[in-house]
Amino acid sequence: MSGNSASLVARLMSGSRCSIPVVVWSLVGCLVMLHLYSLLPHKGALSGELQIRPGRHFLELEEVEEENFQIPPPRGKRSPRAAKRRPKKSTTLIDEFLDESSQLRHLFFPDLKTAVDPANDMGNDSFYYYPGRIWLDTEGNPIQVHGGGILYDERSRMYYWYGEYKDGPTYQPHKKGAARVDIIGVGCYSSKDLWTWKNEGIVLAAEETNDTHDLHKSNVLERPKVIYNKNTRKYVMWMHIDDANYTKACIGVAVSDSPTGPFDYLYSKRPHGFDSRDMTIFKDDDGAAYLIYSSDDNTELHVGLLTEDYLDVTRSMRRVLIGQHREAPALFKHWGTYYMITSGCTGWAPNEAMAHAASSILGPWETMGNPCVGGNKIFRQTTFFAQGTFVLPLPGISGYFIFMADRWNPADLGDSRYVWLPLTVAGAADQPLEFEFGFPLWSRVSIYWHKKWRLPYRWSG
């Protein structure tokens, strides 16, 4: 509150004929001014970066593109997986997405002829992302890093993309079991420009013979994330470890001296004594790191502080988004506010994303609504037929991020696709606070659908 505003309120309060409505509206006016001020770009706000005002190229990232899919007429025979579902209502676009024999299959999973090949492009498509297309590495092979995240390594000035290596057969362990691929390991790719990726190989491999080991191929390894500890000079990987029936519900920890491994697997556990499934880790500006995981049968999320060496959790933990049934958390920070994108719990089927925000990473967290913009209604309700896994900030471009998601292919999980889209933090929030009066001071999160897009300039890291 400015000095003049404070003086005005003091005079009003001191008078014997003080008008309560005047005082209230004065305070409301001050809050509105603070809100408007918080939405303006500032130089060096909190992070010390130069906040670049969005120009024409930045506005291109926020264009609203529409999609118009026509559901084909009913046909006599559907794929075995689709037939088992026996939809009670008329066929929906989600049914078509999940049916590997659908006439619309090519729209969701384009074939190899349209693959994005940075090594062989002729200059016409340089640095363009095509969400949903096959993305090739420098050797001409499809990239295999599903459910992963990206680490920027200051020592090598390289980006490292880690994720589940799923280049194996998809099967169901039993009739009611979810589709799965045996553990192969954690893949790693390196890049200087976020577009051309070199395969660094399997940095954490499956255990082939010891069936009691957490990493035995019959188990589950999902959502690996890596952060660097400056004090120990170690690269630390956290991941979801489970058995084929998803009853183990643990986290796993591995460590390496190099971003390209090999990583040494240390142990698994239930953090804070609770079940843990979809998870991520987040490293804050002050070097403190946190584990965020779905728990209590996916009905809530837990946020816990890690130890200084990042190898374990401390006793500090908060339960957040209680009863909201959210998973696949992806955290990022902007101007001192913590943001998170989550998905619903529908197995391999796509669902609606939600954005959340908090002034403290330990909460309370407020749900801000669906951040998806463009496509069409069903695109927005299905997170563009994908599920978020990571949000990557773009250094030097304040308020702009890359939203990373997986378009899961339950018929062939190794052929799941990557959906990278521009994410912005700007403008007033469009949903009121859940637990407090009024609208939040933080900005809206928007993820914009694009069939084809690239960063505002040739990215060099």
Confirm whether 182 is domain-assigned: yes
pTM of the shown model: 0.84
Question: How many whole angstroms separate alpha carbon 428 and alpha carbon 193?
Answer: 32
Contact criterion met (CB below 8 Å) for 329 and 279: yes
Q: CA 274 → CA 19, 224, 289, 318, 363, distances in Å? A: 53, 19, 19, 12, 19
Confirm whether 45 is domain-assigned: no
Residues 27 and 119 reside in one and the same domain: no
Q: Determine if the peptide bond prior to 364 is cis (ω within 30°).
A: yes
Q: Which two tokens stand for residue 280?
A: 């991520």
At 245 the three-state DSSP class reads: coil
Confirm whether 77 is domain-assigned: no
At 421 the three-state DSSP class reads: strand
Residues 263 and 119 reside in one and the same domain: yes
Question: How many whole angstroms separate alpha carbon 439 and alpha carbon 430?
Answer: 8
Confirm whether 76 is domain-assigned: no
Question: How many whole angstroms separate alpha carbon 333 and alpha carbon 338?
Answer: 5
Confirm whether 245 is domain-assigned: yes
Contact criterion met (CB below 8 Å) for 222 and 246: no
Of all residues in the chain, what percent are helix, strand and coil, respectively (each to 5)?
15, 35, 50
Contact criterion met (CB below 8 Å) for 225 and 162: yes
Confirm whether 86 is domain-assigned: no
Q: Whole domain around residue 26: which residue ranges? A: 3-38
Residues 155 and 8 reside in one and the same domain: no
Contact criterion met (CB below 8 Å) for 447 and 380: no
Question: How many whole angstroms separate alpha carbon 415 and alpha carbon 437?
Answer: 46
Contact criterion met (CB below 8 Å) for 434 and 366: yes
What CATH number is associated with residue 201? Answer: 2.115.10.20
Residues 130 and 13 reside in one and the same domain: no
Confirm whether 265 is domain-assigned: yes
Question: How many whole angstroms separate alpha carbon 115 and alpha carbon 98?
Answer: 21
Distance separating the N- and C-terminal Cα atoms of the chain: 40
How many distinct structural domains can be found in the chain? 2
Contact criterion met (CB below 8 Å) for 295 and 274: yes
Question: How many whole angstroms separate alpha carbon 152 and alpha carbon 340?
Answer: 20
Q: Which two tokens stand for residue 349?
A: 């089927």
Residues 319 and 345 reside in one and the same domain: yes
Q: Which helix (H) or strand (E) holds 37?
A: helix 20-38
- Per-residue pLDDT of the chain in tens (461 residues, 90 and over written 9): 444 444 433 443 444 444 566 555 666 565 555 554 444 443 333 232 323 344 445 677 887 888 887 777 666 566 666 656 555 566 788 989 999 999 999 999 999 999 999 988 766 678 899 999 999 999 999 999 999 999 999 999 999 999 999 999 999 887 777 899 999 999 999 999 999 999 999 999 999 999 999 999 999 999 999 999 999 999 999 999 999 889 999 999 999 999 999 999 999 999 999 999 999 999 999 999 999 999 999 999 999 999 999 999 999 999 999 999 999 999 999 999 999 999 999 999 999 999 999 999 999 999 989 999 999 999 999 999 999 999 999 877 888 999 999 999 999 999 999 999 999 998 776 666 666 656 667 788 999 999 999 887 644 44
